[in-house]
Structure 1
């Protein structure tokens, strides 16, 4: 058995100093979304000194704007992408096993309006003779689910699908619209904290190999063909690296980066589409859903979803072609489309724009395509290699496409290609490797017992222990030790979080901006729990921990308020902040 390397945790300053001292690196991965993080992980585990940079925070763009589904790709059967479905089902089940603290089974129901609808159009789509989406009948959906079961049963983890007749459908879903005649039920999975899982992968990877360095808030700003110039966005300082291989994992920004790295290559690789989602505060809709997802077709045939989310309801999404990936936000037209789709399924439930507490949008990094129908663009992933040429001495490997469910497999394939370029061989597999707080996570039956044991060990109430385990999995024990050593104080404006917990997140999980903590290390933002006093209190705590000046603290608060309003539709916070007395905003 190979001896485990002991890796000492390094600060950001120490990592930057190491890069400046040794500016030649075998591999530079650009892009800290889930596919870039996965490639970084795979290479580091093979003993490769690899550097990962991200211009913003980990999983801030498309990797933080997913539908929160980890699914096998049922609808890809209709387009004949059987290998993608098989791969997706395998990777879904691996995530259920390797990240059980964040990925869970999700019972899913699709409402159906007819028995034989959609057969002709589905056949045309399968044979590439037509592209227009249409509504699908019970026979077509049952056929697809029967095929889906074949892939699922090979893994042996999920129950078979069930087709429900009208009486059975009405008994479970009395609120469905009158046009719903049948329904079908099956199981996929969902992920409750994708951004946190991305961070855990980064932390795991840096602990696995001393030569693996990950830096958020670092941009690649220039290249002379031999060296690349990087900028630390927190200090505006520049430094250079000389990589042997650059992995371009920037998603929707791939073509933009290649204009710097490979100006002689005119190829267009990405043709992204925007997907927008709403978080809705509707007790009536939440009660209707209970613990299930409704996977439904809108009147135009486009597939949408809705399911419970932190006491709210997540609904989406749209699929709109876009050229500029910057500052993507849900438009009023998209919001109207999604709300109308809700009314189409549950006409008796009144949901309005006032019930929307948060919106988010991301660009799917799909391969460039001339098709007029966005849904026809493959969701599969591919690697595009740019060999060294007159404009650049380093190799460039582009990660095109991909989806959250298959990130491990995509990263594995990318790493294997890089290893071949370096003349190295694979040493370790991540197929059965647990992630972060999923390591040694107890089974469902054992979980209450373990929580009780932790409660006794650290002398903390069981509900609080259960809350921390729900947030951090087995990593919660690291925090529990800290809480036992220094008594925690609940936040004044949100008693479910404490000062000790937030300080732990700041120092252990590479938090540098107020937004990092509010939107990605916690679910406070996306679950609609932010208030002006709470934001001010957390900004004050961060200022203490990161030695911010008063001007910096105010700037962080203003910048976060602005981004919440502009990108997430949370405009009321700014108005509330402006109306608050100064003493409320300046906590402490």
Structure 2
């Protein structure tokens, strides 16, 4: 695959200042509409002020799901769409997306049977616990919605005795359980990047640049500034798509040069987001209790929580708290306490100690600004809305409001179709059956995949363990990359033999890595998996500094900034990383 350097991408912007569309925001929805428009032959620019998927798109629960509880709000169309998109992702991205058996412990048979209809029609404002009857109804709809293109088994119920036998650590007050299937995603940020990389190979008129910020307007031009090198660009698009999620209102103000103005004038408030926080814990007993399933459970007041295995640890989430600004959100102490308290209700004999919390992460769901008594009643649907003409902008601005990670493709399709209508174009390519990156020609989990991995190991001589790791990270692209890594004299990292020097150099050179945080948090799973140590951080920094030609002072600044952000956003301190040095060394 041809690799464009950052300098080349910026030169394209300078030489072609009149694109059809500029998409502001490189989260999963922005990437999706960028992909959709580029495939229709439009000249499209994607500008992301930070790194791709650095906001809410990197803070998801790692679930690809229909949204079982959304049916209580009457959002049946959303659930139906999400289930369809889930099944498309199982087909189009089998290297990252896989079925996930999900068990719901049930404490009552009839609880919620009266409140659920009231919530559906808006007459009840409080969450309530769902009994077996309500759950059975919801799962029946789940199965009906997917009957024509079913990719996973239908649901089943188990009585008290069977549940206790299968789940001996569950609260003994559980009366029965239901098991159904959704899906999970291993590397969500990589999936977004693979869509960008696909377009680099097939759509020469499409340009995506991270760390490129929208600064405002000047006459008829949109001003963009490269936050790495300082270059400024004046683009004159026919249409701007604001896909900045929880930052949509802030972006509209910035583009309209109203950042410091006392009033927003003709700019309506569009977003009313809620924060979701998660924990990654290393507790062997809890991991063993889960097996290979997710537990989808309710706290005593009815708030839904989840936990499932993730990279050898356990992911626990999430909260749902109204927030006024998306800037700097992190998992607060009371959120951590809430999630651990809810876990004790389901697994009363399993205790999580503070040292077992490896990583925390938070994101702001970009929900529509709505008057709702509880956060759970805010609609989870998605739609597009144009900034009113009274705002006086030199180009129309279409805002992508709402959206779940699961439905990114469908939402991108809707937004692209509205953009095409506005521009007088027409759709010529559909993405519903278009494989993404390494999902192309990659076999589903099972015997065929095992043969594929064995063939990769034999053909390249890299060994079965390394072949499996590359397949999990890159899908079918692992075949080409393994050859490249071997030819480049790949050797294991000293601090983490699971990665090689040639692999890290490839990520830096080919995958838009501009900061150490990009590498450890989004191009790899090193931070979220708890594998990151101080020695590994320094080894990766040395490779990045060499590739970028950084001075020792510049590298020291990068290290300090990365440690500051790890502590502030993920509760990972330098002392924790140093302690992991000893653990890593003791392990061999």
With structure 1 as the length reference, what TM-score do the two structures score?
0.95
Asked whether 1:157 is paired with 2:151, we answer yes
**Distance of 2:453 and 2:100 partners within structure 1:** 23
In the alignment, what sits opposite 2:217? 223
Alpha-carbon distance, 1:159 to partner: 1.1
In the alignment, what sits opposite 2:115? 121
**CA offsets, 1:465-524, max 9 Å, x none?**
111111110111221111231321111111111101101111111111101110111000
In the alignment, what sits opposite 2:325? 324
**Distance of 1:575 and 1:61 partners within structure 2:** 23
2:564 to 547, 562, 575: 562
In the alignment, what sits opposite 2:355? 354
Contact 2:440 2:476 in 1 (8 A): yes
Moved over 4 A (4+): 387-390
In the alignment, what sits opposite 2:20? 26
**Distance of 1:292 and 1:372 partners within structure 2:** 33
**Distance of 1:441 and 1:90 partners within structure 2:** 21
**Distance of 1:287 and 1:412 partners within structure 2:** 41
Q: SS in structure 2 opposite 1:40?
A: helix
Q: SS in structure 2 opposite 1:494?
A: coil
**CA offsets, 1:192-247, max 9 Å, x none?**
10001011011112222111000000000121352111110112232211111000
Asked whether 1:522 is paired with 2:524, we answer yes
Alpha-carbon distance, 1:8 to partner: 5.1
Change (3 A) 1:211 1:576: same
Contact 2:266 2:391 in 1 (8 A): no
In the alignment, what sits opposite 1:214? 208
Alpha-carbon distance, 1:442 to partner: 1.7
Q: SS in structure 2 opposite 1:313?
A: strand
Contact 1:387 1:394 in 2 (8 A): no
Contact 2:222 2:235 in 1 (8 A): yes
Q: SS in structure 2 opposite 1:214?
A: strand
**CA offsets, 1:397-445, max 9 Å, x none?**
0000001100000000101111111111111000100000000102332
* Further displaced range: 363-372 or 201-210: 201-210
Change (3 A) 1:575 1:481: closer
Alpha-carbon distance, 1:375 to partner: 0.5
**CA offsets, 1:430-465, max 9 Å, x none?**
010000000010233211222222222222212211
Q: SS in structure 1 opposite 2:31?
A: helix
Aligned ranges for residues 223-262 of structure 1 at < 5 Å?
A: 223-224=217-218, 226-262=220-256
In the alignment, what sits opposite 2:261? none
2:198 to 183, 193, 204: 204
Q: SS in structure 1 opposite 2:287?
A: helix
In the alignment, what sits opposite 2:260? none
Aligned ranges for residues 60-139 of structure 1 at < 5 Å?
A: 60-139=54-133
In the alignment, what sits opposite 1:51? 45
Contact 1:531 1:573 in 2 (8 A): no
In the alignment, what sits opposite 2:487? 485
Q: SS in structure 2 opposite 1:399?
A: strand
In the alignment, what sits opposite 2:453? 451
With structure 2 as the length reference, what TM-score do the two structures score?
0.95
In the alignment, what sits opposite 2:161? 167
In the alignment, what sits opposite 1:470? 472
Change (3 A) 1:225 1:143: farther
In the alignment, what sits opposite 1:303? 304
Alpha-carbon distance, 1:373 to partner: 0.2
- Give the superposed CA RMSD: 1.7
**Distance of 2:577 and 2:526 partners within structure 1:** 19
Change (3 A) 1:275 1:390: closer
**Distance of 2:495 and 2:391 partners within structure 1:** 59
Q: SS in structure 2 opposite 1:504?
A: helix
Q: SS in structure 2 opposite 1:379?
A: coil
In the alignment, what sits opposite 2:259? none
Contact 2:534 2:574 in 1 (8 A): no
- Structure 1 gaps, min length 5: 1-6
**CA offsets, 1:99-152, max 9 Å, x none?**
000000000001111111111111110121112001011111111111111012
**Distance of 1:571 and 1:449 partners within structure 2:** 41
* Further displaced range: 44-53 or 172-181: 172-181
**Distance of 2:30 and 2:73 partners within structure 1:** 27
Contact 1:110 1:184 in 2 (8 A): yes
Asked whether 1:380 is paired with 2:374, we answer no
Change (3 A) 1:24 1:387: farther
Change (3 A) 1:181 1:47: same
**Distance of 1:389 and 1:457 partners within structure 2:** 63
Q: SS in structure 1 opposite 2:20?
A: strand
**Distance of 1:145 and 1:390 partners within structure 2:** 46
Q: SS in structure 2 opposite 1:108?
A: strand
**CA offsets, 1:282-310, max 9 Å, x none?**
00000000100000001111000000011
**CA offsets, 1:369-390, max 9 Å, x none?**
1212001011110110235456
In the alignment, what sits opposite 1:393? 394
Contact 2:87 2:150 in 1 (8 A): no
Contact 1:264 1:391 in 2 (8 A): no
Contact 1:306 1:315 in 2 (8 A): yes
**Distance of 1:195 and 1:563 partners within structure 2:** 18
Contact 1:226 1:394 in 2 (8 A): yes
Contact 1:519 1:526 in 2 (8 A): yes
Alpha-carbon distance, 1:572 to partner: 4.2
**CA offsets, 1:38-94, max 9 Å, x none?**
000000000000000101111010000000000011111222111111101100000
Change (3 A) 1:390 1:358: closer
Q: SS in structure 1 opposite 2:369?
A: coil
Q: SS in structure 1 opposite 2:235?
A: strand
**Distance of 2:63 and 2:349 partners within structure 1:** 27
- Structure 2 gaps, min length 5: 257-263
Contact 1:252 1:365 in 2 (8 A): yes
